[in-house]
Structure 1
Amino acid sequence: MTNDELAKLFRPGSVHKRLYTDKDIFDLEMNRIYGQAWIYVGHQSQVPRPGDYHATRIGDQDVVMVRGSDGQVSVLYNRCPHKGAKLVTEGDGCAGKFFRCPYHAWTFKLDGTHMSLPLRAGLEGTCYSADNPDFSMKRLARVDQYRGFVFASQSASGPDLREFLGGSASTIDNLCDRSPVGEVEVAGGVFRVMQQSNWKVFYENLHDTMHAPATHESSVVAAREQSKAIGDMPFELLIQEGNGEPWSFWEALELRAYPYGHGYMEGIFDPNAAEKDAVTKAHQASLIAAHGAERAREIMGMNRHNTIIYGSGSPHNVFQQFRVIRPIAVDRTLIEIQVFRCKEAPQAVFDRALVYANLINSPSSNVMPDDVELYRRCQEGNSTRGGDWVSQHRYLGTDKSMPDGGAVSINGTSELPMRNQMAAWRHYMLGDDVSPEQEAAWTGRTPLSTAGAQA
């Protein structure tokens, strides 16, 4: 598919449904987006000791995050250079002092460097050498971490990690700062959900405030009925009932867009909960003891619901989650929900994070299945001949451009986040073929700068 053909899949405020259904486009995305951008691999706490590994995916590539004997974290392609076998299975484990291929017992240091193999004499007179990089596990081009969150890029060029994260890094900062010692760790297990839809649908839905009252009506009604029956609105019901706010509430929320497709949505729960909620009050007290009252109020006062790191997923600072989004096929997306413990914060803070994950994000929750069902319906509907274009018109042309190349909405029901994500998509997929005039016509606002939107 040529760039000219790709460019024709955009109209002002809308995109062609092929972006969600075309396998050839999906294959290009794995190369031009996931082969270029910084992608979240995992958290350092998942590999606490030398030899510990976390096997996962970046786009369509199997990779391994591993803690080396020197304490450094590397990310390697999960492939033995002999016959191509995957060295370790998906998930977490410990390789010990070195990797050993289960097929022919080739061994590799924890940084991927070739160590040895059985019957080396059989390779005399060939190109085989322990120093030949063709016989070592291949490393990803770049690996970096931000406050323990490990990202990797398959491209040797592009912005550094901090430039790439931009304003979205402040959500990671706040998630970590909610620990009195500024550190978090993955704990409590990881939910995994296979969704029958394209990966971009989930990103768009994360900041789609218009869907909440309709899609989640059943869980809102159930929460309110149960609350009425017991005469109270406990946390377990409150977080389900929150989707039922009136339209005026959603219109008042702030949506912020950053370069590279990132952004955040203002929080939907009471930012002054510390005055009313025992868990939040205890949490704030632990931060006051560590940092003083002013800094504690500043940390607890950052009220964001969903943050998007485009290509990686959605960290949630208030309830210490990270929904990791892994594309599997054009119509299959794997979601991993990681829960974080704020080190030295009250145990009740972690317990509440687990409750939130179970009741909102788990496969058996009352909320997430609503979304998963609608994602599937979008995938199936866009596979029919019932129309070709997907609308992203809400408040088109009203977004306020920001000096950092991003934008802020004038209304919380704006489809600014979707347009911003697609602007990043265009730059990844088309590169320099996107003109400022095309950008302005399609998004309805001042275009992202080339430096701020390309990787």
Structure 2
Amino acid sequence: MAYTNEQIDALVRDDSVHKSVYTDPDLYQLEMERIYGHAWIYVGHDSQVPNAGDFYATRIGDQDVIMVRANDKKVYVLYNRCPHRGAKLVPDGCGNTGKFFRCPYHAWTFKLDGAHLAAPMKSGFEGTCFDPKHPDFSMRQLARVESYRGFVFASQAAQGDDLKSFLGGVITSIDNLCDRSPVGEVEVAGGVFKVWQNSNWKVFYENLHDTMHAQVTHESSVVAARDQAKEMGEMPLELHIMDGNGEPYSFWEKLDLCAYDNGHGYMEGIFNPGAAERDPVTRAHFEVLEQAWGRERALEILGMNRHNTIIYGSGSPHTVFQQFRVIRPVAVDRTMIEIQTFRLKGAPEAVFKRSLMYANVINSPSSNVMADDVEVYKRCQDGNLTHGGDWISLHRYLGTDRVVPGGMISTNGTSELPMRNQFRAWKQYMLATKTEAVHAA
């Protein structure tokens, strides 16, 4: 159905949302236009394309795109389409295209910035309006591309807030991730996990700051971790990060949940990998940071403990373990999660190995913890297709959120403030209050 703004507005209340926001294919298509067609969306990190010709092919909403390093050393983001017959120029994933793109269908070629280079049998175009200099015969660049500390974002809208303004308060999470390197730089390393979820893309965002689910949904992995620790006579970090989900409600109530404009936010860290005085990896990390930044700044950097940051529409950076869970919607009931792991340049190798361990234990397809989440996401998707009710409750601690500079903070760590904040942004996008320039050429 074609939704009017009045109908969209009625789907989101202060304390609840209609289940159709997760299940209606027509609403999903509108999200692709009004959210993913306008917002700044994370494409990838420039370390994934270090050399001229290197490309990383992925998606922004329902659009196939290519991030590529050109000969001028700049990173471009192009639609993955040949303007001749519309064929995708490169397959999904990464590689090196050489000095130019070459279409596998009819061998049209394009410079690395997308500009038309050549087409075979030029005599066949004589007497036509074919003009290789006309933009219709080049690969199309996305309207806007900006990079912040190596993190490349793109917007399909020609106008709108700049990237820093869009990110607002959560930009400090990207800063902290990079500042954990003694040279202030990170790079994607160790490969990328991919996890398919048979659920709507918004469910994952909500769950990232859902502190009420941890000890319930992850009971099996918590019990397994504690049983193993009892058998070993100790609780190593590999088990500790699983056991953390088993903290009582009183623990979660004390955590801060911070919400910003555009649906962003962060959750205070639920554990610290180890204080410098007792953990050799953290101690070695602290020492190199102290040499680079000084003791006070090093303590400040490692003292910022955020468990999950949400960049709405893009995914979730995790600063302590140097991850980025990139959330790619594929269909109204299907979502791809890409887990990127970062190496802190100049930091001890043990820090990177710890990041890989965390990715394997918590985020990988074989993770005991991830399987719990994937199961309940699917159950939410299935349950919302029944006639058992029409509304999703977001009542917890409604009306108690405190306004702080740049956003809001919860008065209780089990508040559903993050979910309410995300749907406030969802409504703004879907009512087209931010989409005047969507798809503008």
Query: What TM-score range do you get, normalising by the shorter chain?
Result: over 0.9
In the aligned structure 2, how far is the partner of 1:149 from the partner of 1:121? 44
- What does residue 244 of structure 2 align with? 242
Q: Which residue of 2 aligns with 1:34?
A: 36
Q: Pick the aligned partner of 2:341 from 333, 339, 346.
A: 339
Aligned to 1:425: 426
> SS of the counterpart of 2:431?
helix
CA contact (8 A) 2:237 2:273 kept: no
The separation in 2 between residues aligned to 1:292 and 1:2, in whole angstroms, is 57
Counterpart in the other structure of 1:211:
213
SS of the aligned residue for 1:275 comes to: coil
Q: Report the Cα offset of residue 389 of structure 1.
A: 0.3
- Residue 79 of structure 1 aligns with which residue? 81
Match of 2:395 among 390, 393, 396: 393
Asked whether the 8 Å contact 2:12–2:423 carries over to 1, the reply is no
- Cross-structure match for 1:176: 178
**Post-superposition offset of 1:125:** 1.3
Looking at structure 2, the residues matched to 270 and 122 of structure 1 have their Cα atoms a distance apart, in angstroms, of: 66
Q: Secondary structure at the match of 1:192?
A: strand
What's 2:48 paired with?
46
**8 Å contact 2:274–2:282 — kept in the other structure?**
no
**Residue of structure 2 in register with 1:447 after alignment:** none
Match of 2:123 among 121, 124, 141: 121
Structure 1 position 271, deviation (Å): 7.2
**Match of 2:411?**
410
Residue in 1 that maps onto 2:159: 157
Distance 2:387 2:277 in 1: 54
Please provide the CA RMSD for this pair: 0.9
* SS of residue paired to 2:145: strand
TM-superposed deviation, 1:290: 1.1
Amino acid in the other structure paired with 2:227:
E
Question: In the alignment, what sits opposite 1:441?
Answer: none
What is the aligned partner in structure 1 of residue 439 from structure 2?
Answer: none
Map 1:103-118 to 2 at 5 A.
Answer: 103-118=105-120
Residue identity opposite 1:70 in structure 2: D
Residues 353-364 of structure 1: pairs in structure 2 closer than 5 A:
353-364=355-366
Matching residue of 1:300:
302
Q: Are residues 1:67 and 2:69 paired?
A: yes
User: Contact 1:43 / 1:186 at 8 angstroms: preserved in 2?
Assistant: yes
Contact 1:271-1:303 at 8 Å conserved across structures? no
Distance 2:276 2:362 in 1: 22
CA distance in structure 2 between the partners assigned to 1:57 and 1:271 by the alignment: 33
User: How far, CA to CA, are the matches of 2:198 and 2:120 in structure 1?
Assistant: 44
CA contact (8 A) 2:190 2:341 kept: yes
Q: Tell me the SS of whatever aligns to 1:274.
A: coil
What's the secondary structure of 1:204's corresponding residue?
A: helix
Distance 2:409 2:31 in 1: 27
Alpha-carbon distance in 2 for matches of 1:34, 1:249: 36
* Kept after mapping to 2: 8 A contact 1:271/1:301: no
**TM-score in terms of structure 1 length:** 0.94
* 1-structure distance, mates of 2:274, 2:363: 24
Displacement, 1:291?
1.3
After TM superposition, the score normalised by the length of structure 2 is: 0.97
Q: Deviations over 1:152-172 (max 9, x none)?
A: 000011100000011111000
Q: Is the Cα contact below 8 Å between 2:199 and 2:333 reproduced in 1?
A: yes
For residues 278-317 of structure 1, what are the structure 2 equivalents within 5 Å? 278-317=280-319
- The aligned amino acid for 1:75 is V
Q: Which ranges of structure 1 fall in alignment gaps of 5 or more residues?
A: 434-455
| Identity within the alignment, % | 71
CA distance in 1, matches of 2:225, 2:18: 38
Q: 5, 10, 25: which one pairs with 1:3? A: 5
C-alpha contact (below 8 Å) 1:264/1:307 kept by paired residues: yes
Instruction: Judge conservation of contact 1:255–1:409 (CA < 8 Å) in 2.
Output: yes
1:266 to 261, 265, 268: 268
- Alpha-carbon offset, residue 403 of structure 1: 3.1
Structure 2 unaligned blocks of 5 or more: 435-441
Whole-angstrom distance in 1 between the partners of 2:262 and 2:13: 20
- Displacement of 1:280 after TM fit? 0.8
Partner of residue 140, structure 2: 138
Deviation string, structure 1 residues 84-143 (Cα, Å, up to 9, x no partner)? 000000000001100000000000000000000110110111111111110000000000
What are the superposed Cα offsets for residues 57-95 of structure 1, whole Å, 9 maximum, x if unpaired? Answer: 000000000001000000000000000000000000001
Once residues 425 and 6 of structure 1 are traced to their aligned partners in structure 2, the CA distance between those partners, rounded to angstroms, is 10
